[in-house]
A and B are shown apart, each in its own frame.
Chain A
């Protein structure tokens, strides 16, 4: 089952509105629902094994960041009662809650957009942008950026292998990885720039910047999809209105 990218984008907008305007507990629930959607809602299943792996890896890193963020804030932001102590270090409630709030917000923002890209094939997204009448120059820049991001893990691996072949201890440990960063970044950036220029030229010499496209690949622009878009947009407006109202009543 596919879902119109406009409905998915409206959903991302709704999630972002919630992330910025609603309480952390709501954000946490929404985050859990999003993670469930990745497994249960067909339209949100990652389109390839690579995007599935990337999404799962991001979640694993995300959870680590939540724990770190909460821990560091609980340690240094002193206020409220001490929740627990480890080796003479006190972890405070206020800092802990601040860390969880911030992490929940950041994760909701990133997971919602990541789920969109993981479940929307690049061709479908680019075609959607073209059909919506976005300037071809802008679509070209977006396309090159997304290609770059898509190829990034494979390219980093290539550069690591190349550096290892030269005897650089790039995987020996965290410190070695950090030291190797400079030797990795330079070839990574250079090769990416060269490929982006070539890819851009290749598209240009195929007339990409000439005219807007015709609809060759029909997108699933069903009535239900556009209704869904409107529902998500309406919900985002409702969240915004609710927040404004709550602020006015509190005055």
Chain B
């Protein structure tokens, strides 16, 4: 069951001496939708995710913050002080560290999350095989989690948090280390999660965001420069060329439009979704 996220005028400084990491940002992410937070390195993307997940409130009690965060109906002023797992799941930027290494097979690594939650083994048996199948990693169930490729590790890392059936899924730059095929697979997975989970992902590039997100937020130096739909974003793309690597994208879109007959099904789907055809 998905849940909504409301961030209201959230400001944050890691310490009194540090500059503001977030400067009064407000977000409203309806349940069951996907929001992509874009921005350059140091914009505050990871800080937003860590604040919502409760990691920031727990690990940086010395931080100075203001505003409120409402997650799944619970309002925190200003930050949740405990980690909100399993209702909120956080996927870290480096999926390799998400693999605990304390279990010898992919299946047991995923089961480890349920063990932490005190779920029964039977629950694991009923949840894990369909999940691994859905993520296309059922054939890896008996492999050692530390011997997988980058794309496979990424999906195993996703399985380790999705098995808890979170209402909210936060993914920090999930596509960074992925090749094109792995990226397409991730797009497919994120699309399949729609309605079931509210997803928030961050990225420095726009391709994944345009393919899966219902809402795009552009963050720069802790401030929101843009908050709207992918179509609105495309309409104002020129505004963000200094903060996002968009030049290639503008050219690609211009190139794509007149030759829609030559597009692959996924490109066609994207162009249709963005109202370009």
Contact = CB atoms under 8 A, between A and B. Distances in A.
A199 B95 CA distance: 10
Interface stretch (A8-16, A118-126, A173-181): A118-126
Size category of the binding interface on chain B: 20 to 34
B113 to A, nearest CB: 5
Contact of A202 (B100, B104, B121): B100
A205 interface: yes
Interface stretch (A61-69, A87-95, A211-219, A220-228): A211-219
Contacts of B111: 216
Contacts, number: 83
A56 interface: no
Contacts of B116: 206-208, 210-211, 213
B94 A206 contact: no
Size category of the binding interface on chain A: 20 to 34
A214 B118 contact: yes
Contacts of A198: 92, 94, 97
Contacts of A123: 101-104, 108
Contacts of B83: 204-205, 207
B120 interface: yes
Interface of B: 53, 55, 58-59, 83, 85-86, 89-90, 92, 94, 97-98, 100-104, 108, 111-113, 115-118, 120-121, 124, 160-161, 164
Given A143-B101, A147-B101, A195-B97, 17 more contacts: A123-B101, A198-B92, A199-B97, A201-B55, A201-B59, A201-B92, A204-B55, A205-B90, A205-B92, A205-B161, A206-B100, A206-B161, A207-B116, A210-B117, A214-B118, A216-B108, A216-B124
Interface of A: 121-124, 126-127, 143, 147, 195, 198-199, 201-208, 210-211, 213-214, 216-217
10 contacts: A123-B104, A202-B98, A205-B161, A207-B116, A208-B100, A210-B116, A211-B118, A216-B115, A216-B121, A217-B108
- 8 A-B pairs closest in CB distance: A207-B116, A213-B115, A126-B102, A211-B118, A198-B97, A205-B90, A199-B97, A202-B98
